[in-house]
Amino acid sequence: MTQYVVYDVFTDVPFGGNQLAVFLDAKDIPEDKLQSIAAEFNFSEVAFVYPPRNPAHTARVRIFTPNNEIDFAGHPTIGTLIALSDLGCKSPMVLELGIGPLRGEVTGAEASFIARQNLNILSYPNLALVAEALSLPQSEVKTETHVPTLASMGLPFILVELNSRASLSACAPNVAAMRKGTALHPESHDFAVFVYFRDGNKIESRMFAPLDDIPEDPATGSASATLAALLTERLNAPQSLSFTQGVDMGRPSFIQAATTQNPLTVTIKGQAVRTMSGDFII
């Protein structure tokens, strides 16, 4: 049997934030079972922990959504750091991810990591198509700081700013439009849309990826990091941002993001709460 633990990530209370299952010693799980396990949990992501390839590092981590493996995601990184800390690993840690080694720290109940990978601007999806994908009028999309932008720091998202909190609440993913978007932008990871309303350094956000079996994500650290990096470039200044996500689906999440310029880095910080544990028996 192989033990797993479940954490609610980017929250300090159970049943908030984003659920994550972590298999703390996955080396004996057959390769052909990994995707099936992730689909069985049906969380946004499941993390599988292995011995590191480099003995100077803490662990190698593979991350799966319900239907594919990905190189990087924020809440699995934060949750895995805290799970390893609870297991006795000392901070700081280095996790080997698909994007390469990533340094993280755990201080008390809070974990953080520094994303140093490049911000890649992949394309600028059509405004009308993006509005259709969100079931919103085009007039609700704000374009002064940036137009809808497909960007990635290891996982691609369409970043979309809205004019009001009411517009954010009104969003409803249009699957047909998202299929059209995926066909036009095959690099878009199933046209996942990270939509937000910004008031100074406070950001309220939602993320929709129904074509990846994630109708809505309660906390998306990788998208928050990508947006923080984009705003750093567009506003030409380091950013210190507080993200609130998951409110509209009843799982409030809180993410802190801070950036530097020259070089561009993003530090993502948040908490996690252990809620369950069990054994994989197949």
The catalytic site residues sit at: 45
- SS3 of 152, please? strand
Backbone angles phi, psi at 191, to 5 degrees: 55, 50
Encoded amino acid at 43, one letter = F
Of 274, 273, 269, 276, the closest CA to residue 78 belongs to 269
Is there a contact between 49 and 60 (Cβ–Cβ < 8 Å)? yes
| 247: phi then psi, degrees, rounded to nearest 5 | -60, -45
Query: Cβ contacts of residue 3 below 8 Å, gap of 6+?
Result: 23, 24, 25, 277, 278, 279, 280
Cβ neighbors of 131 (< 8 A, separation 6 or more) are 137, 138, 140, 141
In this structure, the number of other CB atoms found within 10 A of the CB of residue 213 comes to 15
Q: And the tokens for 136?
A: 């919103």
The amino acid at 19:
Q
Is the distance from CB of 148 to CB of 130 less than 8 angstroms? yes
Alpha helices in the chain (DSSP H): 34-41, 74-87, 127-134, 165-170, 175-184, 221-235
Burial annotation 104-129 (CB, 10 A radius, 16+ → b, else e): bbbeeebbbbbbbbebeebeebeeeb
